Structure 1
Amino acid sequence: MTAQPPATPARRTLLRALAALPASALVLAETPGLLGTALAAAPPSGSATRYTIVPFLNSTDGTVNVYQSDDATDFRLLKSSAYTPPSNRIRDASIIRHTDGYYYITYTTHTWQDPSTTIGFARSADRVNWTFLYDYPVPIANLSRAWAPEFFVDSDGSVNVIVSCSTRNDEWIFTPYLLRAANSALTGWTSPVALPGLGANRIDTFLVRTGSTYHAFTKNETTKYIEYATAPNLTGPYTVSRTGNWAGWGSYREGQALVQLDNGAWRMFFDGYGDGSYYYSDSYDTFATWSAPTPLPGISGTARHFTVVKETVAGGPSLARNTTRSFQSANYPTRYWQQQSALLNLPVVTASSTTAEKQAATFAVVPGLADSNAYSFRDTSGNYLRHYDFRARFDANSGTSTFARDATFIARAGATSGSLRFESYNYPGYYLRHYGYQLRVERSNGTDLFRQDSSFVPVGAWG
């Protein structure tokens, strides 16, 4: 049997921000770290979403690891000590994929105790093997520290860096400055321009754009809270509208970075340096409300201050729609999905099972009700598989947007060859997982056991 699953609160009271918008209302937005614009959607069959991060480590700021994930929750180590600069340190690495096909990182070049007047640059063709490019002296008079450079790619394709700078007259009071690439090779930068409206004593400023609005998330070094500001132009002026513990993240949070998920939600990652954890939090209403901060499984306590590049890549899971299939447990191969009294369970099914048992273990695979690139499943009576109070069950389609999202699942690669994992569309990071031979939707804890318990092999239909 499997280990005890993590506790899950009642569905209707979990995460007020998960009152998600219908798929038709998802906003068109520029995703930081990925050039161009795209409507958020599950990856098409045969493709996969890939998130890459390049964090420095809690144990050292002399090197960075590379991790990747297909769901922005379960990050797996791609290469340890993937890049060590030829001199100095590497902290706060921000990553993009540029139009030339290369991945670039920019980073803080010194540890926090030392003066740091440069920001570093490196590039890679494969995210694994990195080449040092140069250390760039930030041209600000009397500069003491240039920290946490963050890439921002605007809708016109221009590449920018927002860097937090302080001067020698007060080396611990930081102001966010904007640098714009002077050429496509990213070898020259315009003169730094302070972002008006954000003011001094703010650090780790991260920008995203939706429509014509620029959104800035910046840490107030006086209060130790992440604040929120908006502007009609990249260069401001910015208006700070959310301060204090406005999002429920708590204090002593920094290194915030955002990425848009496949279902249109925005996910923020941030470093809880006060308690040694690394967190994520989601918003479905263009940053007004956020889910409760959750430690990032697997790498919380190891990874420090990163940004994310999101891509759609070939070679992802493939499952034909408008077909009939049965689903075999990857780690209990005699057991299959089966509808029992409207609930989805995992009993043993064999050739000697009754016709009714075989039919109850047979399901129609159809395009997702909330996203046609995702999946929904119907039993032989026409009821849809959905989650309710985190239990997997079958109900008649009510026609509501809530039902559509509850009954939609995004296919991710499974733990074994030929297996798939099915992520809840409206609860990112939650998967169909068996426990006690019952199917539930549970949050990934980053363990191999969870991946195995949530992996299923589509096979020929029993009934």
Structure 2
Amino acid sequence: MTTRPRTPSRTPSRRALLRAMAALPVAALVLGEAPGLLGTALAAAPPSGSATRYTIVPFLNSDDGTVNVYQSDDATDFRLVQSSAYTPPSNRIRDASVFKHTDGYYYLTYTTHTWQDVSTTIGFARSSDRVGWTFLYDYTVPIANLSRAWAPEWFVDSDGSVNVIVSCSTTNDEWIFTPYVLKAANSALTAWSSPVALSGIGANHIDTFIVRIGSTYHAFTKNETAKYIEYATASSLTGPYTITRTGDWAGWGSYREGPALVQLDNGGWRIFFDGYGDGNYYYSDSYDTFATWSAPTALPGISGTARHFTVVKETVTGGVSITKNATRSLRSVNYTTRYWEEQSALLNLPVVTSSSATADKQAATFTVVAGLADANGYSFRDAAGNYLRHYNYRGRFDANDGTSTFAKDATFVARTGTASGAVRFESYNYPGYYLRHYNYQLRLERSDGTDLFRQDSSFVPATAWA
């Protein structure tokens, strides 16, 4: 039986400060359906020569006057592309949401003021390359007696219409937020419809993020009283929504905010959220249309630095290309005399040279084939016809039993390695976990975002020893 791997001085959050103020006497996106949407890549491993690219543009825990740009090929290990990539000409930039429009530009929308200030505008900027950004304008949200407009989130519907979901409060109670939708009135994104409140979600909800699957709109929204991320569904973007999951329904804990979702290459859905209560940024995955979720895991590398972001997913050129239906040997990047070798059905990393025994050379030679669970991925077959799969965190070879579990366990997504021609092999069914050598054994381990892990999980497909 396969064991599923399980996940195991900060500036005060605006919500933490909001809680203190509230005690005073004042009281999206559809994936893979149309060009230009957030996450337009379909749920499949990238084809040969292509790569998946996830981009985030968070503001900084230490500075809400600028944003960094990070990217990842696996939605787990985000690496800095550009620091201080965009600083607005005035005011602040918080809660930045990013998407790629049909005009080829990337667009940001964001909160323009810090928590203490009246904030009746949301900001807009655009970029042709995700690195250099140009300020467009600040838009005053036309709501009577508006006090604060926070956390605008892009949502592109299946008809291609572009929307912004924004959380707004009025002067009669500046800390009680209600989600509204603004619909773009032109393709230039310079004119917007009148705000429409999302029916059914109700007041005192903030950071509402929506995805659409088929005919159903799925909303993830923070209950500002309970401090939990709640879940609601509707058959129309504006509702009425029915909130069906409250409290700690997903096991994410309390004091969570800024939910954002993206679909992974294997078809699962990943939610990211800001764990402002403990200083971490988390992710969690679902494979049953949001009914159950994996244990929340802190994002390596950027927890404690990045704050409140959304994700744009693309398939881009320049990815790994490995010839299939051909024999190869796999050499370690950082131990260049060591190769994958099957030893007693387990995958290890011994030294293999031209003077090695013929049996060792044969055991270090594998046939690379199309992934059993996804033809864009990769599977590896030994001379006896057994397949490399992960089992209790170990790489081992077993006969294909024809089950979908085996197919997924034996499929790996190729990600770019740390050296020229090198490849990292990510588990298809446990995203963020890689084949990594440890004590010269090949194990399935979760990426920790370090250079050492990237090197230990990088291998060069070489001419077969046998």
Distance 2:363 2:36 in 1: 45
Residue identity in the other structure for 2:155:
F
Task: Indicate whether 1:172 and 2:163 are aligned.
Answer: no
Distance 1:104 1:392 in 2: 42
Report the equivalent of 2:192.
189
Out of 426, 439, 448, the residue aligned to residue 451 of structure 2 is 448
Shift of the 170–32 alpha-carbon distance from structure 1 to 2, 3 Å rule, reads: farther
Do the aligned partners of 1:66 and 1:78 also contact (CA within 8 Å) in 2? yes
The alignment partner of 2:3 has SS state of helix
The alignment partner of 1:206 has SS state of strand
Deviation by residue 1:57-110 (Cα, 9 ceiling, x = unmatched):
010100000000000000000000000000000000000000000000000000
Report the equivalent of 2:3.
12
Residue identity in the other structure for 1:12:
T
Q: Percent identity?
A: 82
Distance 1:352 1:273 in 2: 57
The alignment partner of 1:12 has SS state of coil
The alignment partner of 1:245 has SS state of coil
Deviation by residue 1:222-255 (Cα, 9 ceiling, x = unmatched):
1000000000111111000000000000000000
Out of 451, 456, 461, the residue aligned to residue 458 of structure 1 is 461
Distance 2:208 2:337 in 1: 52
Distance 1:175 1:90 in 2: 21
Task: Indicate whether 1:397 and 2:397 are aligned.
Answer: no
Out of 93, 100, 104, the residue aligned to residue 103 of structure 2 is 100
Shift of the 297–319 alpha-carbon distance from structure 1 to 2, 3 Å rule, reads: same
Do the aligned partners of 2:5 and 2:393 also contact (CA within 8 Å) in 1? no
Do the aligned partners of 2:39 and 2:262 also contact (CA within 8 Å) in 1? no
Report the equivalent of 1:288.
291
Out of 217, 221, 239, the residue aligned to residue 220 of structure 2 is 217
Report the equivalent of 2:375.
372
Distance 2:4 2:339 in 1: 31
Q: How far has the Cα of 1:15 moved from its partner?
A: 4.7
Task: Indicate whether 1:266 and 2:269 are aligned.
Answer: yes
Report the equivalent of 1:60.
63
Deviation by residue 1:142-192 (Cα, 9 ceiling, x = unmatched):
000000000001111110000000000000000000000000000010000
Report the equivalent of 2:409.
406
The alignment partner of 2:219 has SS state of strand
The alignment partner of 1:451 has SS state of helix
Report the equivalent of 1:122.
125
Q: How far has the Cα of 1:396 moved from its partner?
A: 0.3
Report the equivalent of 2:204.
201
Report the equivalent of 1:111.
114
The alignment partner of 2:415 has SS state of strand
Do the aligned partners of 1:410 and 1:425 also contact (CA within 8 Å) in 2? yes
Report the equivalent of 1:78.
81
Distance 1:445 1:33 in 2: 32
Q: How far has the Cα of 1:11 moved from its partner?
A: 5.8
Do the aligned partners of 1:327 and 1:457 also contact (CA within 8 Å) in 2? yes
Residue identity in the other structure for 1:433:
R
Residue identity in the other structure for 1:134:
Y
The alignment partner of 1:452 has SS state of helix
Which structure 2 residues correspond to residues 228-247 of structure 1 after superposition, within 5 A? 228-247=231-250
Deviation by residue 1:276-299 (Cα, 9 ceiling, x = unmatched):
100000000000000000000000
Residue identity in the other structure for 2:350:
P
Out of 384, 389, 414, the residue aligned to residue 386 of structure 1 is 389
Distance 1:275 1:117 in 2: 29
Q: How far has the Cα of 1:39 moved from its partner?
A: 3.6
Distance 2:397 2:432 in 1: 21
Q: How far has the Cα of 1:14 moved from its partner?
A: 4.3
Report the equivalent of 2:282.
279
Report the equivalent of 2:27.
none
Residue identity in the other structure for 2:124:
F
Distance 2:459 2:325 in 1: 18
RMSD of aligned C-alpha atoms?
1.6
Distance 2:212 2:138 in 1: 28
Which structure 2 residues correspond to residues 241-260 of structure 1 after superposition, within 5 A? 241-260=244-263
Report the equivalent of 2:12.
none
Do the aligned partners of 1:30 and 1:36 also contact (CA within 8 Å) in 2? no
Distance 2:173 2:240 in 1: 24
The alignment partner of 2:445 has SS state of strand
Do the aligned partners of 2:41 and 2:313 also contact (CA within 8 Å) in 1? no
TM-score (norm 2): 0.93
Shift of the 32–222 alpha-carbon distance from structure 1 to 2, 3 Å rule, reads: farther
Shift of the 65–28 alpha-carbon distance from structure 1 to 2, 3 Å rule, reads: closer
Distance 2:236 2:378 in 1: 39
Do the aligned partners of 1:116 and 1:145 also contact (CA within 8 Å) in 2? yes
Report the equivalent of 1:50.
53
Shift of the 206–45 alpha-carbon distance from structure 1 to 2, 3 Å rule, reads: same
Shift of the 455–11 alpha-carbon distance from structure 1 to 2, 3 Å rule, reads: same
Deviation by residue 1:313-337 (Cα, 9 ceiling, x = unmatched):
0011111111100000000000000
Residue identity in the other structure for 2:68:
N
TM-score (norm 1): 0.94
Out of 406, 414, 419, the residue aligned to residue 416 of structure 1 is 419
Q: How far has the Cα of 1:29 moved from its partner?
A: 5.7
Do the aligned partners of 2:60 and 2:307 also contact (CA within 8 Å) in 1? yes
Alignment length (residue pairs): 444
Deviation by residue 1:436-458 (Cα, 9 ceiling, x = unmatched):
00000100000000000000000
Residue identity in the other structure for 2:133:
W
Distance 2:366 2:375 in 1: 17
Which structure 2 residues correspond to residues 324-343 of structure 1 after superposition, within 5 A? 324-343=327-346
Residue identity in the other structure for 1:403:
F
Distance 2:34 2:260 in 1: 11
Distance 1:137 1:37 in 2: 30
The alignment partner of 1:376 has SS state of strand
Distance 1:208 1:263 in 2: 17
Gaps of 5+ in 1: 1-9, 17-26
Gaps of 5+ in 2: 8-29
